[in-house]
Amino acid sequence: MIVVIKPNTTAEQTKDVVDKITSMGYGVNVSQGAERLIIGVLGVREDKDMLAAQLRSFECVDRVVSISRSFKFVSREGTQAKTVVRVNGDVHIGDSAVHVIAGPCTVEGRDMLLDTARFVKSRGATMLRGGAYKPSTSPYSFQGMGKEGLQILAEARADCGLPIVTEVMDPRDVGLVSEFADVLQIGARNMQNFNLLKEVAKAHKPVMLKRGLSATVEEWLLAAEYIYAGGNHEVILCERGIRTFETATRNTLDLSAVPLLALLTHLPVIVDPSHGTGKWELVTPMACAAIAAGADGIMIEVHPRPADALKDGFESLNFEKYAKMMEAVRPIAAAMSRPIASDSRPAVQVTSG
Amino acid sequence: MIVVIKPNTTAEQTKDVVDKITSMGYGVNVSQGAERLIIGVLGVREDKDMLAAQLRSFECVDRVVSISRSFKFVSREGTQAKTVVRVNGDVHIGDSAVHVIAGPCTVEGRDMLLDTARFVKSRGATMLRGGAYKPSTSPYSFQGMGKEGLQILAEARADCGLPIVTEVMDPRDVGLVSEFADVLQIGARNMQNFNLLKEVAKAHKPVMLKRGLSATVEEWLLAAEYIYAGGNHEVILCERGIRTFETATRNTLDLSAVPLLALLTHLPVIVDPSHGTGKWELVTPMACAAIAAGADGIMIEVHPRPADALKDGFESLNFEKYAKMMEAVRPIAAAMSRPIASDSRPAVQVTSG
Amino acid sequence: MIVVIKPNTTAEQTKDVVDKITSMGYGVNVSQGAERLIIGVLGVREDKDMLAAQLRSFECVDRVVSISRSFKFVSREGTQAKTVVRVNGDVHIGDSAVHVIAGPCTVEGRDMLLDTARFVKSRGATMLRGGAYKPSTSPYSFQGMGKEGLQILAEARADCGLPIVTEVMDPRDVGLVSEFADVLQIGARNMQNFNLLKEVAKAHKPVMLKRGLSATVEEWLLAAEYIYAGGNHEVILCERGIRTFETATRNTLDLSAVPLLALLTHLPVIVDPSHGTGKWELVTPMACAAIAAGADGIMIEVHPRPADALKDGFESLNFEKYAKMMEAVRPIAAAMSRPIASDSRPAVQVTSG
Amino acid sequence: MIVVIKPNTTAEQTKDVVDKITSMGYGVNVSQGAERLIIGVLGVREDKDMLAAQLRSFECVDRVVSISRSFKFVSREGTQAKTVVRVNGDVHIGDSAVHVIAGPCTVEGRDMLLDTARFVKSRGATMLRGGAYKPSTSPYSFQGMGKEGLQILAEARADCGLPIVTEVMDPRDVGLVSEFADVLQIGARNMQNFNLLKEVAKAHKPVMLKRGLSATVEEWLLAAEYIYAGGNHEVILCERGIRTFETATRNTLDLSAVPLLALLTHLPVIVDPSHGTGKWELVTPMACAAIAAGADGIMIEVHPRPADALKDGFESLNFEKYAKMMEAVRPIAAAMSRPIASDSRPAVQVTSG
């Protein structure tokens, strides 16, 4: 940590800063530059962020610059090997394959979910998505089927063998959702719902952590750190677009986060081009781009009849379009020397077609 | 709702759109403009937002434009009179006075809170703020004293008579926090924690709803609508800055939201220039500006010794600076023909403890 | 154009609006919805944007919603075929190939430019980039070699045969730069320098128009419309990242703009991952992603020794890294069924000097 | 400048960094922290920014942190006294008074301008605004009357005595506009039109520099530095809103920039709530807020008949509303112990009413 002192500061004021630092057990390295006095804070302690905040309250302090990363466990520095999250015997997110997670935004009923699950499996999905609890900006919108939705998801899994990822929104629901889900999804609006993060940290299921709408990559990794430090090391990151001034797309999909995360963290990263763009026309090209950027997987909204979807039909692919998307992404994955996960496993017994 | 059809659309495709609309019980008004066919959707039903999303999935649909506001109860249109939230016998947020809510970011202990409460009361605060449960971006930062913090807050209220506003972060804590707090604060990161909103909607305490870091005014009002429609009509909005590209301030305080909200909603609005700027040097000028923009109150972080604060000392005023701020805002309030609330009540005898 | 009238508006106020519209020669279509009165404005005239602005000044007008696109010539609707910009006999941006434009940020001298030009040509570039006039945020930074830089660029073209793209910043320089350049680049900060746009519209050279840092796609297309409507139809769009709250990358590269533009315009689109990310580590993955998203080309900063570059060395590839990037993008282009342009031409004999 | 080295860096790699620094004539101060090696760069030279960029290209460099401000002349540190820009004998922007600059967005004709000039002068304006050259997002919008507009402005000045501020968009027009204008306005879209900045730096008229739509405060001050370092010290800054995700207002007026600039620079600052909000309903409250935040003046769009304005009528006040605004801002200025400039001068001979 570096403390930059304002010009025209008295020796007494500077001494107050130094005393503050040393009183908390840190060492100092004072260096007079040409234009500014700089104080290096030496030592590693849990309260370094607090000290930084306190030092910024001094009138003579111009800036406090952090040097170390604030995330530890999820940092690439600590663990050199990339994390592979083992969802079940077949699905290992972060391995050499590209995973396709597909399904409807929301579980709307038994038939639509089973139809979708069977179709996406027949065309290369290795995990089924579908919301039973749905966050909605408006209180007047559909908010999901709840427990019944979870039961339908479990039935689809039993039927076609795909593990399921589904959102949990409430710390009180973590136990229930964990009984049904293979992967617990934390939605973008809950990325900094810290009590929910602490609760899924205690669950015995992998967590897919979506990036918040206005979260920096650092904040996202700190949210992952909550889960990791809380005891759950099976964390998958999911880029789903950030909020910018551009209104032509629902969000701005930040694909540069994918290679950036590969530098910063050992956790696997998948991309959701459906929410990331909010336009079905853009889903396939951005799925291709995500894989080319190095994503470990893509998550795609698929609905039998988007024109009847209870939520987000405008960004959902119908079966035909989903099949075409799979044809488009396969050569891209191959160009990246990564198979589509369903192609790489010996045991892809097609259950429907 | 207006549906804009793409050029080069066939009559059959347009008919599909019209059929979709009428099949859901709405009427249509088809109008051929010079460049586009436009379909007006007539009727008011709960599922209008869903229909809009579905129509956007049609290939021939260029855009769907909403006409009505998506928030109803909190809209100015419905209730012409401004809402006054009665916190206790003396504190009526939204009345003719400007309210000053002050206190530390976080309850750090008994003495610091009582000292602060007494001081801010002696200098014109009408409500005490202080966090017992604190959201923290990093899992390694201080997260509040919890129930003990609530008890200290209650002690401070008993001591100096100021009602207290404190944050609730978890649906499971709403009952407990409601036992102690006079106003329940929903923090910025929880503005779209919908289950928490539903829970405070059932509480019998007013709610102060902070704007999310990347929330539009419309989304903010929809979050308020969750609380209002859920049965709790005592909602205070709190502007606290939005996230932008500017890094010289912690957030960008959007004061234009204050007069904009006065056009859109009947709910009272206060401003938090401490979080809004993240720099103690900017708190007083932005407190003045907030009042001049028409805010019903300001919320200010005050700490006996910011250099020792466990959180956010860099944006906290010490006692001397708080006293000076009060001297600065009083003439601005007077210029707006609004008294500072503590000056306007007959019974402000106690000046300090 | 749709005019939404506020509730509680008198018939007289509405009549004023209607009179305004008809007085300017437009027709009206008045429709009373369930919650709002809506006035459709019928007719197509040059002054429609002005009328929209005027109507928004009426107290009873809630909103004015445009229906038609504000750009005409560059819209996909007008011209169905995609534009191919013919830079020279070999380089046709927008054809079936992916073009690689490479070179230093800035021309720093004769030797470094010739070395770079020869190397990038030997590894598949089809155009040479390099700035002779450089915009700099600080007045104390290097601002380019000016005319001497242009002469060196011309020498490099003579030497290795690559056409050159270089920036023009000033309307007074358009003539001079046109004498040397094959493509005139308009930089991001000048995207709305309208007088410069009008000047390049009169030049007889293709224009590469970079997206402004905070430009929406619509504003970008309107800037292209300035050039197109002014008489120059050879316009190439270049996505180079937008400004967001994220500070881990220099900009946020908005790759979703690539497929979005394919829906909206017939102009070709290239992507600049160097400026778009500001980190050399991210250039190759984002170049791959750009091609997978459908870009017609990529523009890459290459410098013999980035550690000695006068500008932007942190986002420049050295020769070795550039060669590796080309190995990475080639299979992606193939997966998109597009050759790298230099591979598709019969006459690529010269490999390097 | 501080260079942070990545963990797991070899001594040889570090030596390369040190050699680079010393080879350019700087000293080094190497400090091994608990988690990172840090190299302080000692010395002040013109090429420090370039060195920073070069160091960021080293593979072993994690980050380079600037310590000094990149702007020098406009920094508060250099010149302690606040700059007062003397427009004419009466108008001294930056003195103890609050200045009101008013007038139409665009000069549309002789009568409308003279009427407006007379009215705003009669109600307390001390400068007249009006555009003769207008930047327009669309090529199909009105772009100003050009030289004829300048002549009308000069006639209005002769008639009512108000100095005029008007925009210059093109380096080629600086001479002509300087003949007519008292203050040269640089519009938001030209804040980083560096050649234009250099040209007005040579003019003998004060410059009002509007903040760019996506400009940080630091970039804005660097743009001011271009003008100042180029020889023109009469620079007024004008906050006019930044681009954010919020669409309910045209821009987000960043009033916190006003007190922030007071810390960073000695230049005077005015605020434009008309462009800053894009809604006439918000102009008066934000004008009040701007003054309360410490602005040296406000700039207000006034039009005799906004419903007939050729540009931006939706954010213009008519005469009646302008008169009311003046009644609203006067007590706020008084509360700030600053007179409205027109009230403070002995010689306010009203020329019209």
Q: For residue B349, what pLDDT band results from cuts at 50, 70 and 90?
A: very low
> What's the whole-number mean pLDDT along residues D31-39?
84
Residue closest to A229 by CA, chosen among D219, B136, D30: B136
- Name every chain B residue with its beta carbon within 8 A of the beta carbon of C34: 42-44, 68
Contact B139 A230 (CB under 8 A): yes
Contact B34 C44 (CB under 8 A): yes
Position B345 scores a pLDDT of: 61
Contact A67 D42 (CB under 8 A): no
Name the least confident of A130-134, A166-170, C291-295, D134-138. D134-138
User: From residue D124, how far is each of D6, D98, D100, D342 by CA, in Å?
Assistant: 60, 10, 7, 5
Flag whether pLDDT at D234 surpasses 60. yes
Q: Which residues on adjacent β-strands are paired with residue D100? A: D298
Contact D141 C50 (CB under 8 A): yes
Flag whether pLDDT at B35 surpasses 80. no
Flag whether pLDDT at D285 surpasses 50. yes
Residue type, C150: L
Mutating which of C245, C247, C249, C251 best tests the B interface, going by the most B Cβ atoms within 10 A? C245
Residue of C nearest to B242 (CA): C245
Closest Cβ opposite residue C254 in set A246, A291, A331: A246
pLDDT above 90 covers a percentage of chain D that reads 82
Contact A138 B70 (CB under 8 A): yes
Contact D40 A34 (CB under 8 A): no
CA pair distance A169, A179, nearest whole angstrom? 15
Contact A288 C249 (CB under 8 A): no
CA pair distance B150, B154, nearest whole angstrom? 6
CA pair distance A140, A250, nearest whole angstrom? 20
Flag whether pLDDT at D66 surpasses 70. yes
Q: For residue D79, what pLDDT band results from cuts at 50, 70 and 90?
A: low
Report the 3 state secondary structure along chain B.
Answer: CEEEECCCCCHHHHHHHHHHHHHCCCEEEEEECCCCEEEEEECCCCCHHHHHHHHCCCCCEEEEECCCCCCCCCECCCCCCCCCEECCCCCEECCCCEEEEEECCECCCHHHHHHHHHHHHHCCCCEEECECCCCCCCCCCCCCCCHHHHHHHHHHHHHHCCCEEEECCCHHHHHHHHHHCCEEEECHHHCCCHHHHHHHHCCCCCEEEECCCCCCHHHHHHHHHHHHHCCCCCEEEEECCECCCCCCCCCECCCCHHHHHHHHECCCEEECHHHHHCCHHHHHHHHHHHHHCCCCEEEEEECCCHHHCCCCHHHCECHHHHHHHHHHHHHHHHHCCCCEHHHHCCCCCCCCC
Mean residue pLDDT across chain B: 93
Contact C230 D139 (CB under 8 A): yes
- Name every chain A residue with its beta carbon within 8 A of the beta carbon of D218: none
CA pair distance B124, B129, nearest whole angstrom? 14
A239 contacts A255 by C-beta, under 8 angstroms: yes
Contact B242 D242 (CB under 8 A): no
- Name every chain C residue with its beta carbon within 8 A of the beta carbon of D241: none
CA pair distance A234, A184, nearest whole angstrom? 10
Position D350 scores a pLDDT of: 42
Q: Which residue in this structure is represented by tokens 């038609």?
A: C68
Residue type, B257: A
Name the least confident of A68-77, A297-306, B328-337, D86-95. A68-77
Contact B247 D216 (CB under 8 A): yes
Cα R_g (chain B), whole angstroms: 23
Flag whether pLDDT at B238 surpasses 50. yes
User: From residue B248, how far is each of A257, B149, D254, D260, D261 by CA, in Å?
Assistant: 23, 32, 12, 8, 10
CA pair distance B56, B45, nearest whole angstrom? 18
Mutating which of C20, C57, C170 best tests the D interface, going by the most D Cβ atoms within 10 A? C57
CA pair distance C299, C253, nearest whole angstrom? 13
Closest Cβ opposite residue C292 in set A247, A282, A288: A288
- Name every chain D residue with its beta carbon within 8 A of the beta carbon of A2: 2, 38, 65
C136 contacts D195 by C-beta, under 8 angstroms: no
Name the least confident of A70-74, C94-98, C255-259, C332-336. A70-74
Position B351 scores a pLDDT of: 41
CA pair distance C91, C126, nearest whole angstrom? 7
Flag whether pLDDT at D186 surpasses 70. yes
CA pair distance B25, C335, nearest whole angstrom? 47
**pLDDT winner (highest mean) among B3-7, B138-142, D165-169:** D165-169
Rounded to 10°, the helix C319-335/C280-292 angle is: 20
Residue closest to B87 by CA, chosen among B353, B337, B341: B341
Flag whether pLDDT at D91 surpasses 90. yes
Q: What is the pLDDT along chain A (353 residues), one digit of tens a residue?
A: 899 999 889 999 999 999 999 999 999 988 887 778 999 898 878 888 899 999 999 999 999 988 888 888 999 875 678 999 999 888 999 999 999 999 999 999 999 999 999 999 999 999 999 999 999 998 988 889 999 999 999 999 999 999 999 999 999 999 999 999 999 999 999 999 999 999 999 999 999 999 999 999 999 999 999 999 999 999 999 999 999 999 999 999 999 999 999 999 999 999 999 999 999 999 999 999 999 999 999 999 999 999 999 988 999 999 999 999 999 999 999 999 999 999 976 444 444 43
- Name every chain A residue with its beta carbon within 8 A of the beta carbon of C336: 288, 331-332
Largest CA distance in chain B: 79
Contact D36 A68 (CB under 8 A): yes
**Model-level ipTM above the cut of 0.90:** yes
Position A142 scores a pLDDT of: 87
- Name every chain A residue with its beta carbon within 8 A of the beta carbon of C70: none
- Name every chain C residue with its beta carbon within 8 A of the beta carbon of D310: 50
The C-alpha of C239 sits at a distance from chain D's nearest C-alpha, in angstroms, of 17
Position C352 scores a pLDDT of: 41
Q: Is the dihedral of CA D334, D337, D341, D343 positive or negative?
A: positive
Name the least confident of A343-347, B86-90, B328-332, D88-92. A343-347
The C-alpha of C93 sits at a distance from chain D's nearest C-alpha, in angstroms, of 25
Closest Cβ opposite residue C50 in set D142, D170, D226: D142
pLDDT digits (tens, 9 = 90+) for B195-214: 999 999 999 999 999 999 99
Contact A248 C218 (CB under 8 A): yes
- Name every chain D residue with its beta carbon within 8 A of the beta carbon of A244: 245
Closest Cβ opposite residue D214 in set C56, C213, C312: C213
> Which chains touch B (3+ CB pairs under 8 A)?
A, C, D
Contact B137 A222 (CB under 8 A): yes
Residue of B nearest to D216 (CA): B246
> What's the whole-number mean pLDDT along residues C127-153?
94
Closest Cβ opposite residue B35 in set C38, C68, C243: C68
Flag whether pLDDT at B64 surpasses 60. yes
- Range list of β-strands (E), C201-283: 207-210, 235-239, 269-271
User: From residue B254, how far is each of B346, C26, D255 by CA, in Å?
Assistant: 34, 38, 8
* Comparison of pLDDT for A182 and B44, the residue scoring more: A182
Name the least confident of A50-54, B297-301, C242-246, D294-298. A50-54
Residue closest to A252 by CA, chosen among A261, A241, A260, A262: A241
By a Cβ cutoff of 8 Å, what residues of chain B touch chain C? 2, 4, 7-8, 29, 31, 33-36, 38, 40, 42-44, 65, 67-68, 77, 243-245, 247
Residue of C nearest to D169 (CA): C195
pTM: 0.95
Contact B65 C68 (CB under 8 A): no
- Name every chain C residue with its beta carbon within 8 A of the beta carbon of A283: none
**In terms of DSSP bridges, do strands B37-42 and A85-86 run parallel, antiparallel, or are they unpaired?**
unpaired
- Name every chain C residue with its beta carbon within 8 A of the beta carbon of A279: 260
Name the least confident of B243-247, C260-264, D25-29. D25-29
**In terms of DSSP bridges, do strands D27-32 and D2-5 run parallel, antiparallel, or are they unpaired?**
unpaired
Q: For residue B141, what pLDDT band results from cuts at 50, 70 and 90?
A: confident
Which residues contact residue C169 at a Cβ distance below 8 angstroms, ignoring those fewer than 6 apart?
A: C133, C135, C187, C190, C196, D193, D194, D195
Domains of chain B: 2-65 (3.30.70.1140), 85-344 (3.20.20.70)
The C-alpha of D278 sits at a distance from chain B's nearest C-alpha, in angstroms, of 11
Classify D120 in phi/psi space as left (phi over 0), alpha (psi -120 to 50) or beta: alpha
